[in-house]
Amino acid sequence: VEANANSGDRMRLVGILASGPIIVQDVLPQSPADHAGLKTGDQILSVEGTPVLSLMTLSDYLNGHSSAPTHIQILRQGSPLELTLTAQKVTYSYPLAKIAPLGSKNVYVKCLPTFATEVDPSEAAVHTLTDLIVFDINAPEGEIPALEKIELGQSIRKVQDQSFSTLDQFIELTNARAYQIQLELELSSGESLNHVTLPASFRAEIEAPREQTLLGFSRKLEWDIAHPTPWRQISESLSMTWRVLMSLISSSSDVGIQNLMGPPGIIRTLHTFSMEDVRLVLAFTVLLNINLAVLNLLPIPVLDGGHILFATIARVRGRPLNRLFIAKLQGVFMLMLFALMLYVSFFDVRRWQGDNTMEKRMELDRAYIVSPKFKN
């Protein structure tokens, strides 16, 4: 599957999800779980006699039996109990403004409304907006050139050269004209206005909020901190470095030189880990130093391994190699090494850009989700 569209990184997945105990972390007020008496620390064992090893198992069952009372078997302080509850379908997202050609399902621009505070999704269409952000774009390349000027995360400021304050007003202004639609957008940084003209065939509508059947509890996630010995860390790092080197020369491997990490990637990884946990920085530093040590010992001119190779050859021959030959060979390999660094750094930058796009996507997804409100 594609991992990064900009750099072309892909990864192979098996499709196996890890299972583990379902332990309740929190119970939402007025939720079916709350009414049934589910408590923090309870472990969900099964639903209607079927063992529950993941939240997906529970979710699949609830989606198929949303209106029927559900019997779940739990473990509370070592004692088995059975609770009866009826899952509730709740709204968990805001509505979207969808702009698309009449009758088209594959071409559209979806826009996300944002507000100063979280509002009820049922009132979002008439509530005062703080922003209307491009949330999703889908259009075959070259089919509608105007859509290629619209970027994820841009803010729509005006439509038909008129401002709007609610989602309903935006829909009304967009559909008010029988000719081309004028949109005024700006980047999320607040810079550079961009005017886009859409064909008259485009119309706007409100896409309903999403719903899901829920019980109203969150799962407790437990993490164990491993304490590997220094020798084990060195051994694992050496093993990983060796596997990467072998993958680079293997014809059956998906790993290529473009998948390696250069200075930009190393700096970015260190910065990312430093924002998470200093232990990640230390672990990555161990891996980095061992990688550099192994790389330095490869029999390549310019590197220490190359000097060892020259010295070994001279020892076997009984006389030193020609200095001019060594200097020229080192010069050639120096240029090749710099070219390699530039090559992998290019993909580092592309990967960085792709990751920024994914981070922007995740920010929009977080803004799209609202806290579920259960009915009494």
Residue in this structure with the two tokens 């589910």, named with its chain if needed: 38
Classify residue 68 as exposed, middle or buried by CB count within 10 Å of its CB (0-12, 13-18, 19+): exposed
Phi first, then psi: what are they for 213, rounded to 5°?
A: -85, 120
DSSP calls for 248-306:
HH-TT----GGGS--HHHHHHHHHHHHHH-HHHHHHHHHHHHHHHHHHHTSS-TTSHHH
Q: What is the 3-state secondary structure (H, E, C) of 97-125?
A: EEEEECCCCCCEEEEEEECCCCCCHHHCC
Statement: residue 198 has pLDDT above 90: no
Distance between CA atoms of residues 206 and 172, nearest Å: 11
CATH placement of domain 96-209: 2.30.42
Distances (CA, A) of 72 to 75, 76, 154, 209, 212: 10, 12, 46, 29, 19
pLDDT band at 271 (very low <50, low <70, confident <90, very high): very high
Distance between CA atoms of residues 234 and 224, nearest Å: 21
Distance between CA atoms of residues 232 and 318, nearest Å: 41
Q: What is the pLDDT of residues 42-79, one digit of tens each?
A: 999 999 888 888 888 888 888 877 778 888 999 999 89
Distances (CA, A) of 339 to 211, 249, 276, 332, 335: 52, 19, 33, 11, 6
Q: What is the pLDDT of residues 199-209, one digit of tens each?
A: 888 888 999 99
Contacts 24+ apart (CB under 8 A), 34-41: 34/216, 35/85, 36/83, 36/84, 36/85, 37/83, 38/74, 38/83, 38/85, 38/215, 38/217, 39/76, 41/76, 41/77, 41/220
Q: What is the pLDDT of residues 101-140, one digit of tens each?
A: 888 888 899 999 999 998 999 899 999 999 999 999 988 8
Q: What is the pLDDT of residues 208-231, one digit of tens each?
A: 999 988 889 988 887 778 888 888
Distance between CA atoms of residues 106 and 42, nearest Å: 45
Give ranges for CATH 2.30.42.10 in the chain.
2-89+214-219
Statement: residue 287 has pLDDT above 80: yes
Distance between CA atoms of residues 170 and 159, nearest Å: 7
Phi-psi group of 265: left, alpha or beta (phi > 0 → left; psi -120 to 50 → alpha; rest → beta) = alpha
Statement: residue 84 has pLDDT above 80: yes
Task: Give me the residues paired with residue 335 across strands.
Answer: none
Sign of CA dihedral 62, 65, 69, 70: negative
Check if the beta carbon of residue 164 is closer than 8 Å to that of residue 156.
no
| Close Cβ partners of 72 (under 8 Å, ≥ 6 residues apart) | 44, 45, 46, 47, 48, 52, 82, 83, 85
- Fold of the domain built from segment(s) 2-89+214-219: Pdz3 Domain (2.30.42)
Q: What is the pLDDT of residues 304-359, one digit of tens each?
A: 999 999 999 999 988 888 999 999 999 999 999 999 999 999 999 999 988 888 88
Percent of the residues in the chain that have a pLDDT greater than 70, as a whole number: 97
Q: Which two tokens stand for residue 307?
A: 């000097």
pTM for the structure as a whole: 0.75
Average pLDDT, the chain: 87
| Close Cβ partners of 35 (under 8 Å, ≥ 6 residues apart) | 85
